[in-house]
Amino acid sequence: VQLQASGGGLVQAGGSLRLSCAASGTTFGINAIGWYRQGPGKQRELVAAINTYRGTKYADSVKGRFTISRDSAGNTVDLQMDSLKPEDTGVYYCNYNSGPSMSGYGPYWGQGTQVTVSS
């Protein structure tokens, strides 16, 4: 499985950004794709995830501000980030895991994309 992440950038607080993760390779079957982030001096944490059934999971800190979605083919997952805060700053990674569970991450990671929110 290969994951290609795009999007990210620099935005002022209150602004919006959209990240996209395109999965290719052996991606058939039930799976979950998630976005994780790692802020400066922090551990990597789950931001949002979506599985093949279109079930979703969000970190409490982004609920109501971020929306994760998946295209009809199921191979591209977007993360719409609105009302961004400086604490959303970090490197964002997409992750692929076999199976429907969104409680843990799988072995496949995309390259990170930097999100910087200025105050």
> Model confidence over 44-61: pLDDT tens digits?
999 999 999 999 999 999
Task: Round the CA-based radius of gyration of the chain to a whole number and report it.
Answer: 13
Q: Report the distance separating Cα 62 and Cα 98, nearest Å.
A: 24
Q: Is the pLDDT of residue 28 over 80?
A: no
Average pLDDT rounded to a whole number, residues 97-119: 94
> Residue 85 CB: number of other CB atoms within 10 A?
14
Tell me which residue of 47, 28, 33 sits closest to 92, measured CA to CA. Answer: 47
Tell me the two tokens of residue 34. Answer: 């998630």
Q: Report the distance separating Cα 74 and Cα 36, nearest Å.
A: 19
Q: Is the pLDDT of residue 92 over 90?
A: yes
